[in-house]
A and B are shown apart, each in its own frame.
Chain A
C-alpha cells in the first residue's frame, strides 16, 4: 500500500522566509540607527557589506520569484490540477501585499515630509537666527560695558587709591559696575599684587597667562567652570605702574547654549538647502529595504498558495489513480489539519472500494472459470460423440461380421485419431491460455515488432495485402516482445482469414493522451465481412469461435496479454465493410 504524506518542505521554507524577514527588519533598524547617529562609520565596510548583501538578496529573491512564475505558467499550460486556484490565491495575496504596503509607504514618506516642514520650517529657522542675534547682541553689550567702563574717568579716579587700599578699590569697582565679577592686579613684572572676586576663583589668571594678555583687548575665555570676558587696563600714576585685569562672567552655560544654538542653525540651514534631496534620499533608503521585504512577501505568497493547494492536488491525484484502478494509494494527513477529515473519508472510501473490487473480482473469476469449464466440457464432449460412435460401430461390425471388419476399421480408427488430435490441440491451447507467463517488458520499437509479426502472414495471405499507414519508427513501447508479437500475429491471422478473396489489412499507430499518461494506439483494420452483431459481446470470450477449426482462444489470449501490459483492446466493425481492432499500450517515457 502506498502512503502519501503531505510534504513538509513548504512549511520549512515558509518558516525560513519568516526568519529571513525578521533578520532583515533587525538589520534595517541597526543600519538606520547607525546611519542617523554616525555616518562616517556607516560608510565603512560592514554597512557597505550589508548594502551589497541587500542587493544580492534582492537579486536572489527576484530569481526565485521568476522561477516560480515560470513554473506556474508551465503548470497552467500543462493543466496541472489546482493551478487556477493557486493563480487566484497568488493574485489575492499579491493584492493584499500591494494594498497594505503602498499606502503605508506613501503615508510614511508624507508624514516625514510634513514633520520636517512642521518641525524645521522657516519660522523655526527665523526664531533660531533671531535667538542667536539676541545672544550676540547681549554678548557685545557686555564687551562694550567693560570697554566703556575701563575708559571712563570714574574708573581712573577709583584706581587712584589702588596701591594703598586695593580692597576698597574693588568695593568701589563693584558698586560702580555690577557686571564686573573679579579684579586682579599685577605689577610690571606680572607678579600678582591683588585678587578679589565674587564667588570662586575661576577667572583668576596665572602669571604666564597675565604675561600673554594685551592692553585693552577684550577676549572671551573659559575654564571648566565658567566663561568670562576679560580686559586689561594699565594704571600709571604717582604711586607706580600696575596692570589691572577685570573679568565679567558670562551667564551659566553660555558656551553650551551658544554651541547648541549654532548647531541647530547649522541643521536648519542644511535642511532648508537640501530638503528636496533629503526626501529623495528617504525614498531611496525606504525602497532599498522595503523592496526585498516586498519580494519576500511575494515569495511567501507562492509558498502559502502551494501549501493551501497541496492537499487538494494530492486528493485529486489520488482520486485519479483510484479511477485508473490503483486502489493501493492512501494519503497521510497531519493531525489537527483542516483537511484531515476529508483525507480520512477518502482513505475509508478507497478501502471500501478495494474491498468491494476484490469481492467482485473473486466472483467474476469464479464465474469466468465456471463458464470456461462449461465451454471446455462442451468442446471436449463434441469429439467424444464421434469417438464413441466410431468405437460402437467397430464393436458392432466385429460382433456381426468379423471378416468384414477391415472395411470399417480404417475409417473408424481414422475418425477416432482425428478427434483425439482435435482434443489434444484443444487441451494444449487451454494449457497455454491458463499458464500464460508473466510479461517481461523491455523497450521495443513498435515498427520492427509489427513488421516481424506481419511478415509471417504476408507470404501466406495470397491476394491480401498488408499496408502500413503512419507507423512512426520513433514510437517506443515497453512490452514483452514474445507476447506482443503473439498479439499482432493473432490479429493479423484473424484479419487475413476474415477477408474472402482479395483485400487489404491496414496498420497504423497514433499517440494519444489519457490524463497525464501517454499511450500508443495501434489499429489493425481488415476489409473483410465484419463481425455479426450477435457475436460482439462474445468475441473475447474463451472458446468462442465462428471458424470450423478454431479453438476460440486466440482473441482471449490477445485480450489477456494486452491487459497484462496495462493496455486496453476493443474493436469496431461494420457488416461487409470490415473490422478494426484498437489496442492502447502505455508509451515508453522519452529518455
Chain B
C-alpha cells in the first residue's frame, strides 16, 4: 500500500511524507493546496468489530500550516499561520445495514463495502488549504498528525480521556514541504 501510494503520489508531482503509520502528500493548483493523508496505524478487524457492535471510532487529522522563519528573527522559530482539524466518525446504521462516515458538517456517507468504508475513513482526500491573503504559500510547510480514537467515548465514560485511558492513538507529527510553484 505504501509503495502504491508513493508511486501514485510521485507520478502526480506531489510532495510526500511517508512512514509505516502515515502517508501525507500535497498537490498544488494555483493558489490552493490540497492535502491528502492516509493513516495505516489501525487494526482492521478491531475497527470493524467496534463498528459492528454499535461503537463509533473517531479520527481527527490535525493540520498546522507553518511559515519558515528567515533572517534576523530566525531564532524566534517558525510561525503558525493556520490550523485545521477535520474529523470523521464511523458507525453503522442498523436499519439500513450500511456503514456510515459522519463528517464535520453533519454530512454522512453510506457504504456497503467494508474495504471502501475503511479506506474512506482513514483517508483525508484533497483537503483544501487556502492561501493566506497576506502572503503566498511559498516558504511554508505543513505538519500533520492523526489522532485515532478507537471508540468515541460518551459521558460519563469520557472521563477516561482525562486519565489517558481513552484508547486513542496519536501518530507522530509529519512534515510536508510546500514546494515553490
Where the two chains meet, the residues of A that have a C-beta atom closer than 8 Å to any C-beta of B are 35-37, 39, 42-43, 132, 135-136, 139, 220, 258, 262-263, 265-267, 269-271, 273-274, 277-278, 280-282, 284-285
Contact A42 B162 (CB under 8 A): yes
Quote the shortest CB–CB distance from B54 to chain A (angstroms).
Answer: 5
In the complex, B151 has a CB within 8 A of chain A: yes
Contact A282 B157 (CB under 8 A): no
Q: Which 7 A-B pairs have the closest CB atoms?
A: A39-B158, A36-B155, A281-B163, A265-B54, A277-B165, A284-B163, A281-B159
- The complex places the Cα of A271 from the Cα of B159 at a distance, in Å, of 12
Interface residues on B, range: 20 to 34
Residues in chain A near residue B160, CB distance under 8 A:
274, 277-278, 281
Contact A258 B163 (CB under 8 A): no
Contact among B54, B95, B158, B159 with A269 in the assembled complex (CB-CB below 8 Å): B54
Contact A36 B163 (CB under 8 A): no
Quote the shortest CB–CB distance from A228 to chain B (angstroms).
Answer: 13
Given pairs A36-B158, A39-B159, A270-B154, 7 additional interface contacts (CB within 8 A)? A37-B155, A39-B162, A262-B54, A262-B94, A270-B55, A280-B163, A285-B163
In the complex, B18 has a CB within 8 A of chain A: no
Contact among A139, A220, A263 with B154 in the assembled complex (CB-CB below 8 Å): A263
**B:141-181 near A, CB below 8 Å:** 151-163, 165
Contact among A35, A269, A274 with B53 in the assembled complex (CB-CB below 8 Å): A269
The majority secondary structure among interface residues of chain A is helix
- The complex places the Cα of A19 from the Cα of B155 at a distance, in Å, of 31
Residues in chain B near residue A284, CB distance under 8 A:
163
Contact B155 A132 (CB under 8 A): no
- The complex places the Cα of A451 from the Cα of B82 at a distance, in Å, of 86
The majority secondary structure among interface residues of chain B is loop
Residues in chain B near residue A269, CB distance under 8 A:
53-55
Total A-B pairs in contact (CB under 8 Å)? 72
In the complex formed, the residue of A with least CB distance to B95 is A139
Contact A36 B95 (CB under 8 A): no
Where the two chains meet, the residues of B that have a C-beta atom closer than 8 Å to any C-beta of A are 53-56, 94-96, 151-163, 165
Contact among A35, A132, A265, A266 with B159 in the assembled complex (CB-CB below 8 Å): A35
Residues in chain A near residue B55, CB distance under 8 A:
266, 269-270
Residues in chain A near residue B54, CB distance under 8 A:
262, 265-266, 269
13 contacts between A and B (CB under 8 A): A36-B156, A39-B161, A39-B162, A42-B161, A220-B95, A265-B54, A266-B152, A271-B157, A273-B151, A280-B163, A281-B160, A282-B159, A284-B163
Quote the shortest CB–CB distance from A274 to chain B (angstroms).
Answer: 6
- The complex places the Cα of A42 from the Cα of B153 at a distance, in Å, of 13
Contact B151 A285 (CB under 8 A): no
Contact B165 A280 (CB under 8 A): yes
Residues in chain B near residue A265, CB distance under 8 A:
54
In the complex formed, the residue of B with least CB distance to A265 is B54
Quote the shortest CB–CB distance from A364 to chain B (angstroms).
Answer: 79
Contact among B56, B95, B161, B163 with A266 in the assembled complex (CB-CB below 8 Å): B56
Knowing A269-B53, A277-B165 are in contact, say whether A220-B96 is a contact too (CB < 8 A).
Answer: yes
Residues in chain B near residue A274, CB distance under 8 A:
151, 153, 157, 160, 165
In the complex formed, the residue of B with least CB distance to A116 is B156
Residues in chain A near residue B94, CB distance under 8 A:
132, 136, 258, 262
Contact B95 A281 (CB under 8 A): no
Residues in chain A near residue B151, CB distance under 8 A:
270, 273-274
Residues in chain B near residue A280, CB distance under 8 A:
163, 165
- The complex places the Cα of A191 from the Cα of B123 at a distance, in Å, of 41
Contact B157 A285 (CB under 8 A): no
Residues in chain A near residue B153, CB distance under 8 A:
39, 270, 274
Identify which of A36, A263, A265, A281 gathers the most chain B CB atoms within 10 Å of its CB: A281
- The complex places the Cα of A511 from the Cα of B122 at a distance, in Å, of 84
Residues in chain A near residue B161, CB distance under 8 A:
39, 42-43
Contact A267 B154 (CB under 8 A): yes
Knowing A220-B95, A270-B153 are in contact, say whether A43-B162 is a contact too (CB < 8 A).
Answer: yes
